[in-house]
Structure 1
Amino acid sequence: MDNFVFYNPAKIIFGKDQEKTAGEWIRKYDGHKVLLHYGGGSIKKNGVYDTIIASLKANDLPFVELSGVVPNPRYSLIQEGIALCKREGVDFILAVGGGSVIDSAKGIAAGVLLNEDEDLWEDYYMFKRGPEKALPLGTVLTIPATGSESSRSSVVTNEATHFKRSMAADCMIPKFSIINPKTHYSLPPYQIACGCADILAHLMERYFTPTENVDFTDRMLEASMKTVINYAPLAIKYPTDYNIRAEIAWVGTIAHNGLLNTGRLGDWASHDLEHELGAIYDIYHGEGLAITFPAWMKYVYKQNPKRFVQFAQRVWDVEFSAEQEERIILEGIHRLERFFTELGLPIRCSQLHIDHSRFREMAQKIMVNRDHEGEFMKLYEEDCYQIYCLSE
């Protein structure tokens, strides 16, 4: 087990009707003027918007609004939000939505406090480093998926350059996050599937580690993966079952709050491979991960077969056979693909009408400002290209 420092100050307010307390929490964190940041019309259709507005007004909190966040949130909207916050004297940001909204809010929060000689995109997102200060923010989570409600990272797309990149810093961890599983009832089945694929990917990125002797976090990750595997189909079948939704919501938060990667080095190659797909083809993050993760597994499993055997046995209940190690590994990968397929997700690029024509370009872009990709097995341009070919 590696040395580690675990730090996560995000206060989680979980349960029914908790979004009504948003204004009270902003006041507790000394917010005086709020940027209300959200996506399209879904929070207006399901009533969350009206509840938040009422809470802000009840707590005498003036606010300005910035809507329009889309999947693969755009850097241009972050720039618009930074200018709005500076012009209006905003001192607190409330993100109401899923990971795209929260990631966009984090970018705004960091950008408002940058020095004049700093460029948010070039200095931070492109170099995957984090700022030292940001405006405080809170979240009301309406889509369980990315774990951004308690993470230190922000992932956005620069539509001008077609790069999708991340930055991370402790100052971007939300002060509080409100999670009411009832607000997730209106999500369409495909969005539930994409969200669960994202949660599972966060767990697997941590699970496939080069670090030895991490059985405690292995066991927590395996239990979390089994929770996603068990409850994702149920969430689609019974969309208004509170207890099912609560399981998905909570495992999604824990999957990405830093706890499960303590003492171990994670591998984020599958995420970065997907980011290039998302940047160019604007696909949902979860559906892209359902494509890139199995392809990555097929390429790297010989690096440490024992870990893949453990994954197949403990997570997918593949029967043990010492003389058939490779069969066990491939069966585990097959069961992962079957799980994605049963959720209605693609597992090949061709299912989204994406061909090989830009695979080399994407492999080249992954390596910009990076010495290598991944940690389980260090990948370079040709490796990334071959993984894309496996995903075709």
Structure 2
Amino acid sequence: MDNFTFFNPTKIDFGTGKEQLIGQHLAEHGINKVLLCFGSERIKRDGLFQTVSKSLAEHGIEFVEFGGIVSNPLLSKVRDGIALARGHQVGAVLSVGGGSVLDSSKAIAAGVAYSGEVWDLFIGKATINAALPVFSILTLAATGSEMNSGAVVTNEDSKEKFAIQSVHTFPRVSIVNPALMQTVSRDYLVYSAADIIAHCIEGYFTATVQPTLHSRMVEAIVNTVIDTTETLLDNPADYPARAEFAWAATQALNGLLYAGTAGFNYPNHMIEHALSALFNVPHGAGLSVIMPAWMKWYHGRNPAQFQRFAKQVFGVDTAQQGIAALEAWFDKIGTPTRLSQLGITEADVPAITDVVLGNAQWFGIADIYTREVVVEILKLAR
């Protein structure tokens, strides 16, 4: 196990009805006005908006609405949120939604505290030295953003999808009520499953130092996701399965799986970011296409770990069988495994490759992921 410092200041309030406590949490942090960020009007139709606004009012907290945040959140929307937050002099940002809303909220919080162009924070031209406090109520389990400091945003002009990360952008409190996730569509449930698995396997397969404890934790999370996804596809109202799925999503990217690992990178996310930046495909759908293709290309570089994955997750013997089993499971649950299923053709490969090569520079792995390698992986995904 490598040396590490683990820090996670986020308080998780987990369970049914916990969204009613958001006003109390904000008041305990001395907040009296928030920018309330959300996606669609669904939170108003299903009553969540009313529950939140009532809780805020009971604690004397004003709010400014900022809706319309979309999946694969956009830089232009973040800029709008920054302007609104500054104009109303809010003291915090409250995210009510899934990972895209929370990522936008973190970017807005950091952007308000920075005097320059917020994209500077994503491309390394400036560092995050402060941010407004961030709070969240989660309605979709997938990204783990509720308990980490990362935020991913797409610059629609440059077609770049990059991230920020800072001690200042951890949510102060995240409320996770699995009951709020029962209306998630079938498609987004299976896309979420793929996203969680991707968060687990990036370090699991690429780390040069991977403690056995962490491998076991990854395998437990992946097996939990597989089991609970199948349960939820049969019965979306199964609260125990929904709760385990949600907590697995949080655990997959709150830092625990990577504390003590070393030498890992995120090639699946690096490649997928090009797909969602160029074609606006759902992030998890893009990952379920890229993961099996990347695994077919990469497995010979870490054969023992791929064999372990095959045995511990799917009960098969070889790396190739394990990869085939994961791909078959993705097919079974209905998340894509081919670029063609995303409407992406061979003619699109050069443009994708160009964006991936830029991403590889940002991720710091351009020496491994050359044009030839990227084209080969994309060929395996066709």
TM-score, length basis structure 2: 0.96
Following the alignment from structure 2 to structure 1, what is the Cα–Cα distance between the partners of residues 78 and 378? 30
Whether 2:107 is the aligned partner of 1:107: answer: yes
Deviation at 1:386, TM superposition (A): 1.7
Match of 1:315 among 292, 307, 313: 313
State the partner residue of 2:228: 231
Counterparts in 2 of 1:319-334, with a 5 A limit?
319=317, 328-334=318-324
Match of 2:347 among 354, 357, 360: 357
Q: Secondary structure at the match of 2:164?
A: strand
Q: Which moved more, 1:273-282 or 1:210-219?
A: 210-219
Q: Secondary structure at the match of 1:208?
A: helix
- List runs of 5+ in structure 2 lacking aligned partners: none
Deviation at 1:170, TM superposition (A): 1.5
One-letter amino acid matched to 2:44 = K
Whether 2:237 is the aligned partner of 1:240: answer: yes
Q: Which moved more, 1:199-208 or 1:128-137?
A: 128-137
Whether 2:332 is the aligned partner of 1:342: answer: yes
Following the alignment from structure 2 to structure 1, what is the Cα–Cα distance between the partners of residues 198 and 127? 23
Paired residues in the alignment total 381
Q: Is the 8 A contact 1:15 1:180 kept in 2?
A: yes
Q: Is the 8 A contact 2:149 2:165 kept in 1?
A: yes
Following the alignment from structure 1 to structure 2, what is the Cα–Cα distance between the partners of residues 130 and 22? 30
Counterparts in 2 of 1:198-347, with a 5 A limit?
198-212=195-209, 214-265=211-262, 266-319=264-317, 328-347=318-337
What is the CA RMSD across the aligned residues, in angstroms? Answer: 1.8
* Change over 3 Å in CA distance of 1:196–1:96 after alignment to 2: same
Deviations 1:108-128 (A, max 9, x none): 00000013xx3221x221349
One-letter amino acid matched to 1:107 = A
Deviation at 1:196, TM superposition (A): 1.2
Q: Secondary structure at the match of 1:232?
A: helix
Q: Is the 8 A contact 1:78 1:107 kept in 2?
A: yes
Identity %: 38
State the partner residue of 1:139: 136
Following the alignment from structure 2 to structure 1, what is the Cα–Cα distance between the partners of residues 127 and 296? 32
State the partner residue of 1:322: none
Following the alignment from structure 1 to structure 2, what is the Cα–Cα distance between the partners of residues 199 and 128? 30
Q: Is the 8 A contact 1:196 1:228 kept in 2?
A: yes
Q: Secondary structure at the match of 2:358?
A: coil
- List runs of 5+ in structure 1 lacking aligned partners: 320-327
State the partner residue of 1:51: 51
Q: Is the 8 A contact 1:294 1:336 kept in 2?
A: yes
State the partner residue of 2:372: 382
One-letter amino acid matched to 1:306 = A
Following the alignment from structure 2 to structure 1, what is the Cα–Cα distance between the partners of residues 238 and 261? 35
Following the alignment from structure 1 to structure 2, what is the Cα–Cα distance between the partners of residues 141 and 169? 20
Following the alignment from structure 1 to structure 2, what is the Cα–Cα distance between the partners of residues 239 and 56? 30
State the partner residue of 2:164: 167
Deviation at 1:381, TM superposition (A): 2.7
One-letter amino acid matched to 2:356 = I
State the partner residue of 2:32: 32
Deviation at 1:372, TM superposition (A): 7.7
Detail structure 1 runs of 4+ shifted over 6 Å in the superposition: none
One-letter amino acid matched to 1:33 = K
One-letter amino acid matched to 1:284 = P
One-letter amino acid matched to 1:264 = T
Following the alignment from structure 1 to structure 2, what is the Cα–Cα distance between the partners of residues 134 and 367? 31
Following the alignment from structure 1 to structure 2, what is the Cα–Cα distance between the partners of residues 389 and 130? 37
Following the alignment from structure 2 to structure 1, what is the Cα–Cα distance between the partners of residues 269 and 260? 21
Whether 2:173 is the aligned partner of 1:176: answer: yes
Q: Is the 8 A contact 2:79 2:118 kept in 1?
A: no
Deviations 1:254-312 (A, max 9, x none): 11100111111332110111110001111111100000111111111111111111111
State the partner residue of 1:157: 154
One-letter amino acid matched to 1:228 = V
Deviation at 1:213, TM superposition (A): 5.2
Q: Is the 8 A contact 1:2 1:211 kept in 2?
A: no
One-letter amino acid matched to 1:314 = Q
Deviation at 1:155, TM superposition (A): 0.5
Following the alignment from structure 1 to structure 2, what is the Cα–Cα distance between the partners of residues 261 and 128? 26
Q: Secondary structure at the match of 2:253?
A: coil
Following the alignment from structure 1 to structure 2, what is the Cα–Cα distance between the partners of residues 128 and 250? 35
Following the alignment from structure 2 to structure 1, what is the Cα–Cα distance between the partners of residues 185 and 2? 41
Following the alignment from structure 1 to structure 2, what is the Cα–Cα distance between the partners of residues 305 and 349? 26
State the partner residue of 2:121: 124
Following the alignment from structure 2 to structure 1, what is the Cα–Cα distance between the partners of residues 147 and 45? 26
Q: Secondary structure at the match of 1:35?
A: strand
Following the alignment from structure 1 to structure 2, what is the Cα–Cα distance between the partners of residues 106 and 147? 13
Q: Secondary structure at the match of 1:83?
A: helix
